[in-house]
Amino acid sequence: MIILISIATLVSTFLGGMFALRFKDKLHLILGFSAGAVIGVAFFDLLPEALELGKGSYDITLITSIMALGFVTYMLLDRLFFFHSHCDDDDEKCKPNRRGLLGAGSLSAHSFLDGAAIGLAFQVSSAVGAIVAVAVLVHDFSDGINTVNMILKNSGTRAQAFKWLSVDAIAPVLGIISTLFFSVSESTLGVILAIFTGFFLYIGASDLLPESHHNHPTMWTTFATILGVVVLFSAIKLAGI
């Protein structure tokens, strides 16, 4: 199953990138749904699972503090390494192209961590692994979008965008494979999931959501975000988690 998920992460990233190249005017709806889905996974799956796994070794305050640390850590990485760009096409501050290359490279590194998250979640259980995989697949789609946009918005060519899209697509596969060579205890997994809860909350609330509203009316993107939350909540309940 994990091999199929590895392939799915690659395909999802590629589809996101190709969507960005072909249907740029519809991206805000996809990003809005992605924001809701990622936030839903953080609140309804990752955080409860982190509390459950860590309760034998850590108190709730520590787990939630680790979650906050994950949020702040991802924010610092985002600000320092330009994971995403919210610039207009004519914004000179977004140039030169080096910014786009650095941002695309950072996105690829963070996609590797997404893959590792899937592998570690499967060490908890197949159900948890499947739910995290769904969240990452949704996020990978937006990663493909953002990778292409990062290059194109910073004076890059379509050929450069496709090259970095290929790098970003293979990164989560390598992340999943890396977890086949080590395992961690349940309490440690609780800490790791708390960190990823913070990551996903930042990705959804501070990255995907603002990007979905960037230069677009809010009504339909807001609906898409709510739909994303509802869909993931329903999926988690149906999975019995």
Most confident of 43-57, 89-103, 140-154, 168-182: 168-182
Of all residues in the chain, the percent with pLDDT exceeding 70 is 76
Domains in the chain: boundaries: 2-238
| Cα–Cα dist 155/86, whole Å | 14
Does residue 95 surpass a pLDDT of 60?
Answer: no
Q: Which residue has the higher pLDDT, 13 or 212?
A: 13
HEC secondary structure over the chain: CHHHHHHHHHHHHHHHHHHHHHCHHHHHHHHHHHHHHHHHHHHHHHHHHHHHHHCCCCCHHHHHHHHHHHHHHHHHHHHHHCCCCCCCCCCHHHCCHHHHHHHHHHHHHHHHHHHHHHHHHHHHCHHHHHHHHHHHHHHHHHHHHHHHHHHHCCCCCHHHHHHHHHHHHHHHHHHHHHHHHCCCCHHHHHHHHHHHHHHHHHHHHHHHHHHHHCCCCHHHHHHHHHHHHHHHHHHHHHCCC
| Cα–Cα dist 211/220, whole Å | 14
Q: Which residue has the higher pLDDT, 24 or 193?
A: 193
Query: Cβ(209)–Cβ(225) under 8 Å?
Result: yes
Residues 6 or more apart in contact with residue 211 via CB below 8 angstroms: 28, 31, 84, 86, 146
pTM above 0.75, yes or no: no
pLDDT of residue 68: 95
Mean of the per-residue pLDDT values of the chain: 77
Residue 61 banded pLDDT, cuts 50, 70, 90: very high
Does residue 101 surpass a pLDDT of 70?
Answer: no
Cα 101–chain centre separation:
19
Rounded mean pLDDT of 163-182? Answer: 89
Residue 93 banded pLDDT, cuts 50, 70, 90: very low
